[in-house]
Amino acid sequence: MTVITRFAPSPTGRLHVGNIRAALHNWLWAKKNGGQFWLRIDDTDAERSEERYVEAIRGDLAWLGLESVGEQRQSARTALYETRFEALRAAGHIYPAYETSQELDLKRKIAAGRGLPPIYDRAALNLGEEDHAKFAAEGVRPHWRFKLDYAAPIEWDDLIRGHQKFDAATMSDPVIRRADGSWLYMLISAIDDVEMAVTHVVRGEDHVSNTALQLQMFAAMGATPPAFAHEALLVGSEGKLSKRLGSLGVDAFREEGIEPEAVRALLARIGTSDPVEPVTDVTRLIETFDFARFGRAPARFDDAELAGLNAKIVHMLDFDAVSDRLPQGMTRAEWEAVRPNLKTIAEAADWWQVIEGDIAGTRDPADAAFLTEAARVAGGIDWSADPWHALTAALKAATGRSGKTLFLPLRRALTGRDHGPDMAALLPLIGRERAMARLGGG
């Protein structure tokens, strides 16, 4: 069996971090099993779907390195849906209903007042031909519901949650098509999964009850359902669902200088028993991906953890991987000198300015004589070997300074900062003339 997974976003907005996690996990599972990962654009909501969001979804997946074997568009599959719909209607699995949203809301309130579950009472099944003809004459078009089989048990072994069991009699027959003919998610998603031969569906635990309903739809179509894995939802660092997670996406990550490797490394592991590590080789994430390692507790997404992970990954990136994103003229030597102090690649530009540009070094008046002496010494040392240690050794012997009183005034004068890359690596890049000018206050 070829493992086939799919990511099926609706192009009504940008992907958020929860969507990205679902896409990643479907992709990882397909990759681990040598299978196929498909992108399916669920764009049947014509009013809200926009092509710019389709392009954004493609771009986001490309940035994350989640390549698909192909793309399907629900808007191009309406003939298939009509065929399946008519077959299910002819077999008695679908029926028309006419209640307005206000009428349904009233029914739910009455049921709640009687201590009953707020499920649909199937009143539409009692309508006769005359009733349907009357509605048609009045121009009232029906919406369509899938008729659940109350006698059939709904059970499956979820790859994360274990054995699941639902009683169909406690659930409403789901509306699958609106009165205007447009489709709702439930049925056409199941049809697509059948037609695309999807073998595994990885999605959030908020879809568990949807899965219970869809299993009866698969059965009505005479199809074998996919295996399902319902993962715990993401929560913010404060331990609860966060509005920020609903807006945080690839565009925000890129704006903050987060690398795709960091996003993959974090989202592949949070909520599992595996440690979150700075993994740049996605093969390691693929090899260790296992639903058995997923927990039931909410997966905590922490911005600080992502930022820290990103810094560690930046420290591992080779010059060839980032050269096109560095300031013009920056070579491997400069990159390797400043890399250990970067949180994002964009910060390399700041250190390039320190190395090559004009900076305003900070100087304590009490260190004026010391720095004048440092400028004189810098002019006489051998710059072809290790100028930093030659400079500090000569200054220590000449002035008696050591430790912080020796090193900090030099760093401040040479870089304008109290902290930064190893000066032994940085000073040769600054060079003799610039160093002497900065030490001398020029």
Query: Does residue 240 surpass a pLDDT of 70?
Result: no
pLDDT tens, 272-327? 999 999 999 999 999 999 999 999 999 999 999 999 999 999 999 999 999 999 99
Q: Are 326 and 343 members of one domain?
A: yes
Whether 50 maps to a domain, the answer reads yes
Contact 187, 217 (CB under 8 A): yes
Q: Are 52 and 88 members of one domain?
A: no
Query: Does residue 55 surpass a pLDDT of 90?
Result: yes
Q: Measure the CA–CA gap between 371 and 368, rounded to whole angstroms.
A: 5
Query: Does residue 375 surpass a pLDDT of 70?
Result: yes
Query: Does residue 241 surpass a pLDDT of 80?
Result: no
Give me the CATH number covering residue 84. 3.90.800.10
Q: Which amino acid is at 8?
A: A
Q: Are 84 and 173 members of one domain?
A: yes
What is the rounded average pLDDT of the residues 342-362? 92
How many domains is the chain partitioned into structurally? 4
Domain termination residue (choose one: 356, 383, 414): 356
Q: What is the pLDDT of residue 88?
A: 98
Query: Does residue 48 surpass a pLDDT of 80?
Result: yes
Q: Give 237's pLDDT tier (boundaries 50, 70, 90).
A: confident
| Average pLDDT along the chain | 94
Q: Give 442's pLDDT tier (boundaries 50, 70, 90).
A: low
Q: Give 236's pLDDT tier (boundaries 50, 70, 90).
A: confident
Q: Measure the CA–CA gap between 196 and 179, rounded to whole angstroms.
A: 27
Q: State the Cα angle at 327 between 323 and 333, rounded to 5°.
A: 60
Contact 235, 298 (CB under 8 A): yes
Q: Are 388 and 418 members of one domain?
A: yes
Q: Are 162 and 246 members of one domain?
A: no
Q: Are 35 and 110 members of one domain?
A: no
Q: Are 312 and 323 members of one domain?
A: no
Whether 164 maps to a domain, the answer reads yes
Q: Are 105 and 158 members of one domain?
A: yes
What is the rounded average pLDDT of the residues 118-139? 95
Whether 193 maps to a domain, the answer reads no
The contacts of residue 207 (CB under 8 Å, 6+ apart) are 230
Q: Are 305 and 246 members of one domain?
A: yes
Q: What is the pLDDT of residue 114?
A: 87
Task: Provide the phi-psi class of 168: left if phi over 0, else alpha when psi is between -120 and 50, else beta.
Answer: alpha
Q: Are 335 and 291 members of one domain?
A: no
What is the rounded average pLDDT of the residues 14-25? 94
Q: Helical H runs in 344-402?
A: 348-356, 368-378, 387-399
Whether 219 maps to a domain, the answer reads no
Q: What is the pLDDT of residue 82?
A: 97
Domain termination residue (choose one: 308, 334, 356): 356
pLDDT tens, 321-342? 999 999 999 999 999 999 999 9
Q: Measure the CA–CA gap between 306 and 258, rounded to whole angstroms.
A: 8
Whether 102 maps to a domain, the answer reads yes
Whether 210 maps to a domain, the answer reads no
Q: Are 352 and 371 members of one domain?
A: no
Q: Choose among 299, 301, 300, 163: nearest CA to 231.
A: 299
Q: Indicate the angle between helix axes 260-269 and 303-314, nearest 10 degrees.
A: 130
Whether 166 maps to a domain, the answer reads yes
Binding residues: 243
Could you tell me what percent of the chain has a pLDDT over 90? 89
Q: Measure the CA–CA gap between 283 and 420, rounded to whole angstroms.
A: 33
pTM: 0.91
Binding residues for ATP: 243
Whether 304 maps to a domain, the answer reads yes
Q: Are 17 and 65 members of one domain?
A: yes
Range of the domain at 91: 80-177
Q: Choose among 314, 386, 382: nearest CA to 351.
A: 314
